[in-house]
Amino acid sequence: MKNLFKVFSIIALVAVIGFTFFACDNGDKPEPEPNPQNQTPITTDENISDSLDDGGNENNDGDNGDVGGGDSGNEDIAVTFNSVTANGSSSQTTTQLTLTFSQAITGLSINDITLSGVSSVSKGTLSGSGSVYTLSISGFTAGGTLSVTVAKSGYAISGSTQSTTIYYYSDIAVTFNSVTANGSSSQTTTQLTLTFSQAITGLNANDITLSGVSGVSKGTLSNSGSVYTLSINGFTAGGTLNVTVAKSGYAISDSTLSTTIYYYSDIAVTFNSVTNNGNSTTTTTYLTLSFSQAITGLSASDITLSGVSGVSKGSFSGSGSSYTLYINGFTASGTLSVAVAKSGYAISGSPKSTTIYYMGKLTISGCPYSTSSNTANVHAVSGSVTSVSSYLSSASSAAGAGTITSQLVTWTGTKVPNGTFTIVVDILQNGELKYYKASGVSLNYGSGTVNWSSFSQFN
């Protein structure tokens, strides 16, 4: 290029000289000698070449207009690429790289980053906070050592290539086979059953998303093999419920299935009362339960009895809002608690209580006057008995009265003893009444045991 400029310079110089001679030959008056001070010096081809750059443009570099070269533009900003790391593990595919520099790089984009070493790695979104950048990656089907190179115009990046290990984990293939729900048009759904082609290790309620019906809350998740049950509640209307399952490490096909769930508004019923047919002289044999209205399908299994040991439920029947439940099996009186719960009904006033009675018999073991041929009267007297006269004066007000047969005392009076008493037996022997007493005998609504050896004659 410089030689070309030299050629043009020589041609221009020859043209100027030729024009000067031509003017003189035409007889024009000689021009006055030019004043060197008013003339622009002729630039030689060497100066011309030195005043132009390689592109043929005038070179204005140098101080005070001097001809000469010099560096132009700003220097690149020095930055160090400190490190690159990757998430993931031998059981989890890498999804993100973290690039750390000595300072932020203005305008850094994914186009400034080159990935190599692992086939088919695709760059996703790049974001940064200060000097730390995160780059999402995907697309690869095998792990390995990934080289990350960063180059940005205006920056001199040292350590521009760093390496890290990325991981690829092949998810376990599972099929979500079905989802069903309990409940019906007359019973609210309380549970979902999810069935898969195989068990999913670590599956929990957080891995299950429910949609399509407002207000559905997840409860407890349990499983037996590949079948899982999930309790649900909280909704106030039925509908089609979408169930989506996603678990890290598993590729779940048909991951969203649907089922119909039901909401049934329970019928409000009041449990008004419970009574029984027993009293202080009669053992209870049945209970009577009264409600504000009839309860369809109510059965003995819907009734819970507690508070008295050994009570068993017998036959159950109802007429309108009143129901009868027979009971047996208990051997002591006490306060019986009766609770009623029926699906589809909101029963207020439950539980209720009632006192049931057991009219037990006193066993006087070893009593010689226990045959039907002997007439023996028995009284349970509160307090001590010191003489026949004191006994006779208190017999009419005794806590209990009865007769003894085969060592068993049957209470026949209107009172049934319950507590600690002096037991007095009077029996006619050879035309003479004999009186025997045993002190401190405990009776539970007539039930108790005392040995004849504890008795002593007191007349």
Percent of the chain at pLDDT above 70?
A: 82
As a whole number, the mean pLDDT across the chain is: 84
Mean pLDDT in residue range 283-309:
96
94-108, 292-306, 313-327, 418-432: the lowest-pLDDT one: 418-432
Residue 25: band (very low, low, confident or very high) from pLDDT cuts 50, 70, 90: very low
C-alpha 230/C-alpha 223 separation (Å) is 9
Q: Could you give the domains of the chain?
A: 2-65 (no CATH), 77-166 (2.60.40.1220), 174-261 (2.60.40.1220), 267-356 (2.60.40.1220), 362-457 (no CATH)
**Nearest residue to 456 (alpha-carbon basis) of 421, 417, 427, 424:** 424
List the structure tokens of 96. Answer: 């993100």
Q: How far apart are the first and last CA of the chain?
A: 158
Residue 7: band (very low, low, confident or very high) from pLDDT cuts 50, 70, 90: very low
> Could you read off the pLDDT of 254-278 as tens digits, one per residue?
999 999 999 988 899 999 999 999 9
Q: Which amino acid is at 223?
A: N
C-alpha 386/C-alpha 155 separation (Å) is 120
Burial class of 153 by CB neighbour count within 10 A (0 to 12, 13 to 18, 19+): exposed
> Could you read off the pLDDT of 355-402 as tens digits, one per residue?
998 888 889 988 877 555 556 788 999 888 888 888 888 777 777 787
Task: Tell me which of 388 and 163 has the higher pLDDT.
Answer: 163
Burial class of 101 by CB neighbour count within 10 A (0 to 12, 13 to 18, 19+): buried
Q: What is the chain's Cα-based Rg? A: 55
3 state SS of 227? strand
Q: E strand or H helix at 449, and its extent?
A: strand 448-451
What pLDDT score does 41 carry?
A: 44
What pLDDT score does 459 carry?
A: 81
The model carries a pTM of 0.39
E-strand ranges in 255-399 read 256-261, 267-276, 286-291, 303-306, 312-319, 322-328, 334-340, 345-348, 352-356, 362-365, 376-381
* Dihedral sign of CA atoms 21, 22, 26, 31 in order: negative
In the predicted structure, residue 419 carries a pLDDT above the cut 60: yes
Cis peptide, bond prior to residue 417, ω within 30 of zero: no
In the predicted structure, residue 349 carries a pLDDT above the cut 90: yes
